[in-house]
Structure 1
Amino acid sequence: MYVVYPYDWTLRVEPLVNAPMTLTARELSEYLYLRVFLSSDPSSDIVGGGCVVVLLHRPDGQMSFARLGDTHWTWIRTPTGNELYVDVGFSADGRMLYGIRRDGAIHEFDLGGEPALERTTILPAQDGMMRHTNYLVDAPWLGGGDGGCWLMVCRRLPYDGVWNTHSIKVYRVDPAAGTAAEINDVGGRHALFLGCDSSFGLAMADCPAGILPDHVYYTDNEEQYALDTPECARDIGVYSMGDGSFHRVKPPSPWLDWPLPAWIIPSFGCLGYSNRFLAN
C-alpha cells in the first residue's frame, strides 16, 4: 500500500488542501505511468523475449522497459538527462529503442546493452521545440538504410482558453548528419496518425475508404486540459501536408469525454475490414 498526496500539474504538493489517500499498487500506476508502448504484438510472441514493453513515467518523462518473461522492469536512468521523453519507437527486431524528448532531441538505446544502456544521439535538441508536442514516427517506406527512416512531427497547441492545434510540421531525420529537414509529403501513399497512444504511419492499402495520403490524422493529446475541463471540445482533426489546411472533426459521441480518444489498428487479416479507427 502507498500513501499518495495528490498534486496539481505544476507539481506543487499542497497537503493542507489535498488530504492523503491510500492506494494499491494498481491504483498508484494511474498516477505514476503516463503511456505504454509495445514493440510488437505480444500475442504472436509465443516463446517470449521478442516483445518489449516501455513505460513512460510521470512526472519527468523517464522510461522503463521489460521483455515478456522478465521478472522486473529496467529503468533507463544513465547517463544523466534521460528524461522529458514524450514518444518512442523501436527497430524492427525490437533491440533498439528510440526516444524523442520535449526539446526535439532523439536518442537511441541498445536494449541488449544492459546494464549501462548508454545512449546515442540521433538528433540533438532543436531550438523552440519545447513549445510543441513532439512525435516520433517510423517511416520505413521512405528508406534510410539499416537505421530506418524516422519522422519527427511537431504539433503546436497554444492555449487560449481551449487547446487547438494551430500548426503541424513534419521533418525527415538524417541520423548521419544529425539534422532534420521539413517535408510536405510522405511519399504519396501513406498517412500519419498521432495522439496519446503510439504514433504510426499506414499505407493506403491498409486504410479504410476516406483516408487520404500525405495527411496527418490527430487526436487530443493534452491530458491536463481533458482532466480539468472534460466538458470542453476535444482537439481532433486532419491536416493536409500538401496545402497546410486543417479540417476539424467532431466526434460522433461528444458526451464520451474520457479517456482521451485513441487510434486503433484492426486486425485486417483475422477480423475483416473495419472503418472505425477512432475509439473513445
Structure 2
Amino acid sequence: MEAAAHPDWSGLPGDLMAMVMHVLDIPDLFRAGAVCTSWYAAYSTVRHVRIPIKDSSPCLFYSCAGDDVDTATLYSPSAGAAFKVRLPGPSFRSQYVVGSGHGWIVAADEESNLHLLNPLTTAQVGLPPVTGLHHVESFSDDQGRPMYNLYGEDFWHPDSPMAYKPKEMRLFLYERAYLSCSPSKGAACIVLLLHRPDGDISFARLGDDRWTHVAKSESVQWSSGYRSAAYNENDGLFYLVSFNSSIFTLDLNNGLPVMKNVLKGDSRSDDPIRSIILTPWGEIFQVWRFISVRWLDTPVQVPADCSDEVINPSRESYTDEIELYKVDITGQKLKKINSSELRGHAIFIGFNSPVLVSTEDFPMFKPNCAYITDDSSETICINMYGGREVGIWNFETEALESLDNLQVAHPWLNWPPPVWITPVLY
C-alpha cells in the first residue's frame, strides 16, 4: 500500500491565501510570507492593504483608546493611515517607552526591567535587569513586598537610598535610551542609558547580564549631567550633550570607556530639554525645547488601582518654545539659527533618537518644522496619566499644530506616552 502523499501547501490558490492572510495578526502575516514563493506573492498583495507604510519615514507608535491592552497603533503621517499590531506580553499598556531607534523601542515593564521590542515583527530581546545597575538593589518591605533602593539621589548623602515600588521606579530612574545599531546585529548593538541621578551613563551590549557604569576616571572627565545622545555611524562614537550644552564623544569600542570634550558649555541658567542631531550633511545641531507647566482646573482621571502612582494629577506640561543651534567645534560656540538651516528637512524629537527627514523625499511632511511627542520625564514621573503633547512645531509662528485629524480618528491614550519609530522588518 502506497504511503499517502504529503499535501503541497504551496499549491493553494492565491485568492484563498489572500483571504487567510487578511485575518492574520501582523507578525503571522510576515511568517506566512516567508514560507514559499507562491505564499510570498499573496503576502505582497495583502501587505500593502494591511500595512499601509509606503516608505521608511517615522510613524507614531501609541496605545489607542478603543483597543485592548495588548494592541498598539502605528500611524504613518506619510501614508496618512494607521494600522494595528498585537504585541506579546507584557501588555503594551503596562510599559514605559524610554527610547526608540532602528525600528525598535526600549521599554520598561512593571518590574522596571528594560527590554527591546520590534513592533512589526514582535521580536523581543531582554536587557540586563534594573538591579544590574550599579546603584540599584532589591529588598522586601515589612509586608514582604518587593522594593528597590536607589542610591545617589541625595547629593549630600549619596549612601542614603530612596526606596521605590517596582512599578514606580522606572518613572524616576530612566531618562533616555539609545541604540548604536539594530538589535538584529546581536552583541554589536550597544544600548546607551541615561538615568538618574542627573543624567548618569550606563551601557550594555546585547547578551550582557549587567549594565556597565561610565564612572569618572582618567578617561572620563565628567560622568553625569547628560541630557541627550546620538550615535555616529561614521566614526563609531556616541555624541552626548550635557546640561550646559557642552558636547562629549564617548568611545565604547576598545575596553574602557573614553570620553572627549569637543564643545565647551555655556553659562545659561535655564535647562531646556536638549537634543543633539547629527545632520546628513555633516553638521551638528542642538535643539532646545523649553517646557512650561500649567495647572488644570479639572485633574485628570486616574484609574483607582493606580492612584498612589500619581503625585499631582493637576499638573500638565507643554512646549513653550523650541530653539535651534548650530555647533561650531572649531570656534567652540553655538550659533542660534532659524529653521531655514534645516534645508527642507523635518525634525522628529521625543523619546526617540532624534532624526531629520527630507521633505523632498517625503513630501507629506512639512519642511523646516519639528514633529514632537511628549518627553518631559519630570512631569511624566509625577503624573503618568496627564496630557501628552503630539504635534508639529511651526518655527515661524512659534505654535504647535495638530497632526492631521489623528486624535479624532485614532485617539491616543496618555499612557504609555506616544513615541516616534521608524519601522523595519528585522
Normalised TM-score (structure 1): 0.75
- Where structure 1 has 5 or more consecutive residues not aligned to the other structure, the ranges are 13-18, 144-148, 272-280
CA gap of 1:28–1:156, structure 2 versus 1, over 3 A, is closer
CA contact (8 A) 2:327 2:333 kept: yes
Q: Give the secondary structure class of the aligned counterpart of 1:168.
A: strand
Q: Which residue of 1 aligns with 2:138?
A: 2
Q: Which residue type is aligned with residue 134 of structure 1?
A: R
Q: Which residue type is aligned with residue 355 of structure 2?
A: F
1:89 pairs with 2:244: no
Q: Which residue of 2 aligns with 1:264?
A: 421
Q: Identity of paired residues, percent?
A: 27
Q: Which residue type is aligned with residue 216 of structure 1?
A: A
Q: Which residue of 2 aligns with 1:125?
A: 265
Q: Which residue of 2 aligns with 1:277?
A: none
Shift of residue 99, structure 1, vs aligned partner? 0.8
Q: 1 or 2, which has the higher helix percentage?
A: 2
Shift of residue 206, structure 1, vs aligned partner? 5.2
CA gap of 1:71–1:206, structure 2 versus 1, over 3 A, is farther
Instruction: Write the deviation string for residues 7-57 of structure 1: whole angstroms up to 9, x where unpaired.
Output: 9xx969xxxxxx96675xx996665333211011122x2xx4432211112
Shift of residue 132, structure 1, vs aligned partner? 1.1
Q: Hey, what's the Cα distance between the residues in 2 that align with 1:40 and 1:134?
A: 22
Instruction: Write the deviation string for residues 191-211 of structure 1: whole angstroms up to 9, x where unpaired.
Output: 11111222111122554x531
Runs of 4+ in 1 over 6 A off after TM superposition: none
CA gap of 1:200–1:11, structure 2 versus 1, over 3 A, is farther
CA gap of 1:71–1:228, structure 2 versus 1, over 3 A, is closer
1:203 pairs with 2:364: no
CA contact (8 A) 1:34 1:57 kept: yes
Which stretch has the larger CA shift, 124-133 or 161-170? Answer: 124-133
Q: Which residue of 2 aligns with 1:66?
A: 204
CA gap of 1:42–1:168, structure 2 versus 1, over 3 A, is same
Normalised TM-score (structure 2): 0.51
Q: Hey, what's the Cα distance between the residues in 2 that align with 1:249 and 1:224?
A: 24
Shift of residue 236, structure 1, vs aligned partner? 2.6
Q: Give the secondary structure class of the aligned counterpart of 2:293.
A: coil
CA contact (8 A) 1:223 1:260 kept: no
Instruction: Write the deviation string for residues 221-267 of structure 1: whole angstroms up to 9, x where unpaired.
Output: 112323433554322332233x2432333761556111111111123
- Where structure 2 has 5 or more consecutive residues not aligned to the other structure, the ranges are 1-136, 140-146, 156-161, 296-315
Instruction: Write the deviation string for residues 51-105 of structure 1: whole angstroms up to 9, x where unpaired.
Output: 2211112222111123345554332112353212111011215621111112211
Shift of residue 123, structure 1, vs aligned partner? 1.7
CA gap of 1:71–1:102, structure 2 versus 1, over 3 A, is same
Instruction: Write the deviation string for residues 113-152 of structure 1: whole angstroms up to 9, x where unpaired.
Output: 432x3422222122326431111111022x3xxxxx2110
CA contact (8 A) 1:132 1:157 kept: yes
Q: Give the secondary structure class of the aligned counterpart of 1:165.
A: strand
Instruction: Write the deviation string for residues 176-200 of structure 1: whole angstroms up to 9, x where unpaired.
Output: 2221112222443311111122211
Q: Give the secondary structure class of the aligned counterpart of 1:228.
A: coil
CA gap of 1:164–1:103, structure 2 versus 1, over 3 A, is same
Q: Match for 2:293 among 132, 135, 159?
A: 159
The structure with more radius of gyration: 2
Q: Which residue of 2 aligns with 1:275?
A: none
Q: Hey, what's the Cα distance between the residues in 1 that align with 2:191 and 2:391?
A: 29
Q: Which residue of 2 aligns with 1:37?
A: 178
CA gap of 1:6–1:261, structure 2 versus 1, over 3 A, is farther
